Amino acid sequence: MNSTQASHASVKADAAEQGFTHKLGTIADAVEAFLAERLGPETRPGEIARPPRLMEAMRHAVLGGGKRLRPFLAVETARMLGGDEAGALAAGSAIELVHCYSLVHDDMPAMDDDDLRRGKPTVHKAYDEATAILVGDALQTLAFEILADPAWQPASAIRADLVLGLARASGLGGMVGGQILDLGAEGRFGAVSLTVDDTLRLQAMKTGAILAFSVDAGALVGGATPDQRAALLRYGLALGQAFQIADDILDREASPEAMGKATGKDKDAGKATLVDRLGLDGARAECDRLVDVCDAALASWGERAETLRQAARFTVARKV
């Protein structure tokens, strides 16, 4: 490739990145508006009251930050399949609430003991630990309320599959189970020695399961066939693994100012990461391999899957 061709390729790549960033931002804005409306002060049918302190702390935990990658994946997957984007946005927003609840609880002294999240005080610092626990509880239950609401998804079978999928991805065999494995990997419950496979399983549960379900939620709303769902699950699982490895790399290399939270704590706590097992270069190579897995999983959709391909590349190249 000569210099002119290289320059054109660079311009094309920059334009593609800007286009992807714009799409990500547009969906993030839509998610923000959806969640702001759901977290308003007005009571809804079946509610007795909305305690002001709880609502204020929930808004503190959810609004005004985050890339909203999980709802983005749900919406873009449904869009690729020709599904209802409003229904996918609601499903993705419910997943985002579960993600936010997990961050509130992870930040607490009994877990990661963090003071900052997205550049502002964590919920237990801005309010108190009891409020933080209840915020997490309320965000989790609100997520399932949204998924079960026929206003967003009239098909009862799809609603049931969405509720079941999120429960499995976020529960004892997914995110919560992965969290206790992560605590164990720190030596909280006695000395441990994790293999690479142990680390992969931990990360697939703690982080990967919710990301993979974000894709599956879009597939459900989009009416995917069983074969299509299987291909998208391969994509989602590889994306989730790549996301966690990239996060571990950032924890080593990014500044606290850029990340909006403390960095380097995973290494200090002895957390299990592939960076420790493979080294930085090996971890980056594994990210590249996983992007190839994502591309292969999306092959049958051709150009329609380009945004999801870009999401995989964004995941491993992000700086925050």
CB 117 within 8 A of CB 265: no
Looking up tokens 């899957």, which residue turns up?
A: 305
Cα 199 → chain centroid? 19
In a domain, 100, yes or no: yes
Is pLDDT of 259 > 70?
A: no
Is pLDDT of 17 > 90?
A: no
CA distances from 126 to 67, 107, 114, 131, 136 (A): 22, 12, 12, 10, 14
In a domain, 142, yes or no: yes
For the chain, how many residues are written? 320
Least confident of 19-33, 56-70, 149-163, 275-289: 275-289
Task: Identify the pLDDT of residue 273.
Answer: 83
Buried b or exposed e, range 298-319, using 16+ CB within 10 angstroms:
beebeeebbbbbbbbbbbbeee
- Which of the pair, 75 or 6, is modelled with greater confidence? 75
In a domain, 6, yes or no: no
In a domain, 110, yes or no: yes
Mean pLDDT of the chain: 91
Contacts of 302 (CB under 8 A, 6+ apart): none
Q: What domain count does the chain have? A: 1
Cα 250 → chain centroid? 16
CB 243 within 8 A of CB 313: no
Segments forming the whole domain that contains residue 233: 12-317
Task: Give residue 80's identity as a one-letter amino acid code.
Answer: M
In a domain, 188, yes or no: yes
CATH number, domain of 274, equals 1.10.600.10
What are the φ/ψ torsions at residue 120 (nearest 5 degrees)? -135, 165
Burial of 235 (0-12, 13-18, 19+ CB in 10 A): buried
**Closest Cα to residue 114, out of 317, 268, 277?**
268
In a domain, 1, yes or no: no
pLDDT digits (tens, 9 = 90+) for 35-70: 999 999 999 999 999 999 999 999 999 999 789 999
In this structure, the strands spanning 120-121 and 116-117 are antiparallel
- 18 pLDDT band, cuts 50/70/90, is confident
Task: Identify the pLDDT of residue 266.
Answer: 58
| Average pLDDT of the segment spanning 64-80 | 95
pLDDT digits (tens, 9 = 90+) for 20-35: 999 999 999 999 999 9
In a domain, 5, yes or no: no
Task: Identify the pLDDT of residue 9.
Answer: 45
In a domain, 2, yes or no: no
What are the φ/ψ torsions at residue 116 (nearest 5 degrees)? -125, 145
**Closest Cα to residue 166, out of 145, 138, 191, 187?**
145
**Closest Cα to residue 211, out of 244, 250, 167?**
244
